[in-house]
C-alpha cells in the first residue's frame, strides 16, 4: 500500500486488478475507508485496474489540521494520479466521493473518463445540519452519533437481515479520527458545486437510493439535470447503496463504464 504525499499529507492508496486494463478510481463516503468498496472489488478488478484510497482525515491516511475543502480533496486525487503516473481514470464516487468527482469533472476534465456520482449532492441548502453534527462529535465523539449515521446509511430492513455488515460499517465509522471527521464536515457545510455542474463534459451516471434520506432522489435529479447528457438510475437502497444493493450497484456501474 503506497503512501503518497499530497501537500504534506500522506495518503494511503491501493492499486489492484487487471494489469493493462483501463483504470478506475473509487472514492469513499464520509466516515468510511477504502474497505467500503469490498462488495465491488471482485467484479471491478476483473475488468479494471482499480485505485482505492483513504481520504485525508480517514483510515490510514494522515490527519492534517482542518478545515478541509472539496477542492483540497480533489487536488489530493490529482496528486495520487501524478505520483502513479496515470493520465486518466474512470471515477466512481459515493456521497463525499461523488462531490469530489463533480469538482474534478469541472476543474480537471482531462483526467477523467466516465464518471459515476452515487448518493451525493452538489449543495446543502442548510449547513446547520453539519454544524450540529460537528458540535455533537466534539462533545461526544463519533460513538455518540454512530447509530443515527448508520440509520441513514442503511435501511432498517437491511440492518435486520445483515447485522454483521451493519456492525462492520459502524465500527469503520467509529474508528475514523475525530479531527479528520470534523474537518471533513466543515467542508460539507460550505459545499456548493452548482455552478460547476454545467462544466462537466464527461459521460456521467448519477445513482440514487430510493430510501436515501441523506442525499435524496431530488438531490440526484438536481445533479443529473445540470450535467449535459447525464443519466440516472435508482436503486432499492438507502445512502450506502454500494453495500445495501451491491449486485444492482455493480451491474449499473459495469454496464455504464463498459458501454461504447
pLDDT tens digits along 101-151: 999 999 999 999 999 999 999 999 999 999 999 999 999 999 999 999 999
Burial class (CB in 10 A: 0-12, 13-18, 19+), 260: exposed
Range of the domain at 190: 3-258
Report whether 9 contacts 64 (CB < 8 A): yes
**β strands within 54-185, DSSP E:** 89-94, 112-118
Do 193 and 70 form a contact (C-beta atoms < 8 A)? yes
Quick one: cell of 10? 500522506
The predicted structure's pLDDT at residue 1: 65
Buried b (16+ CB within 10 A) or exposed e, 135-171: eebeeeebeebbeebbbebbbeebbeeeeebbeebbe
Distance of CA 108 to the CA centre of its chain: 17
Is there a contact between 77 and 55 (Cβ–Cβ < 8 Å)? no
- Concatenating the DSSP letter of every residue in 208-222 gives EETT-SSS-HHHHHH
Q: Tens of pLDDT along 183-236? A: 999 999 999 999 999 999 999 999 999 999 999 999 999 999 999 999 999 999
Give me the CATH number covering residue 246. Answer: 3.40.50.1820
What does pTM read for this prediction?
Answer: 0.97
Residue ranges of the alpha helices (H) in 141-245? Answer: 146-153, 156-161, 163-174, 178-189, 217-226, 241-244
- Peptide bond before 12: cis, by omega within 30 degrees of 0? no
CB 27 within 8 A of CB 99: no
pLDDT recorded at residue 25:
98
**How big is the CA angle at 101 (ends 98 and 104), to the nearest 5 degrees?**
160
- Give me the chain's average pLDDT, please: 97
DSSP β-ladder status, 89-94 and 112-118: parallel
Domain count for the chain: 1
Amino acid at each position: 500500500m503506497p503512501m503518497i504525499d499530497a501537500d504534506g499529507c500522506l495518503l494511503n492508496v491501493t492499486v489492484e486488478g487487471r494489469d493493462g486494463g483501463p483504470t478506475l478510481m473509487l472514492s469513499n463516503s464520509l466516515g468510511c475507508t477504502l474497505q467500503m468498496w469490498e462488495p465491488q472489488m471482485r467484479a471491478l478488478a476483473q475488468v479494471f485496474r482499480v485505485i482505492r484510497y483513504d481520504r485525508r482525515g480517514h483510515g490510514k491516511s494522515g490527519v492534517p489540521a482542518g478545515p478541509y475543502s472539496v477542492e483540497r480533496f480533489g487536488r489530493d486525487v490529482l496528486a495520487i494520479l501524478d505520483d502513479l503516473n496515470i493520465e486518466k481514470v474512470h471515477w466512481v464516487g459515493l456521497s463525499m466521493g461523488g462531490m469530489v468527482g463533480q469538482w474534478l469533472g469541472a476543474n480537471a476534465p482531462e483526467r477523467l473518463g466516465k464518471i459515476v456520482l452515487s448518493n451525493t449532492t452538489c449543495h446543502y441548502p442548510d449547513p446547520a445540519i453539519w454544524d450540529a453534527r460537528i458540535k455533537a462529535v466534539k462533545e461526544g465523539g463519533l460513538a455518540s452519533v454512530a447509530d443515527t449515521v448508520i440509520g441513514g446509511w442503511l435501511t432498517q430492513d437491511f440492518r435486520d437481515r445483515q447485522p454483521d455488515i451493519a456492525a462492520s460499517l459502524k465500527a469503520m465509522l467509529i474508528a475514523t479520527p475525530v479531527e479528520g471527521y470534523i474537518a471533513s464536515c466543515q467542508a460539507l457545510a460550505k459545499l456548493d458545486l452548482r455552478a460547476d455542474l454545467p462544466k462537466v463534459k464527461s459521460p456521467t451516471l448519477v445513482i440514487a437510493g430510493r430510501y436515501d434520506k441523506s442525499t435524496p432522489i431530488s438531490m440526484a435529479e438536481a445533479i443529473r439535470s445540470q450535467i449535459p447528457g447525464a443519466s440516472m438510475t435508482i436503486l432499492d437502497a438507502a445512502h450506502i447503496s454500494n453495500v445495501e444493493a451491491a449486485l444492482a450497484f455493480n451491474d449499473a456501474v459495469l454496464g455504464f463504464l463498459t458501454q461504447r
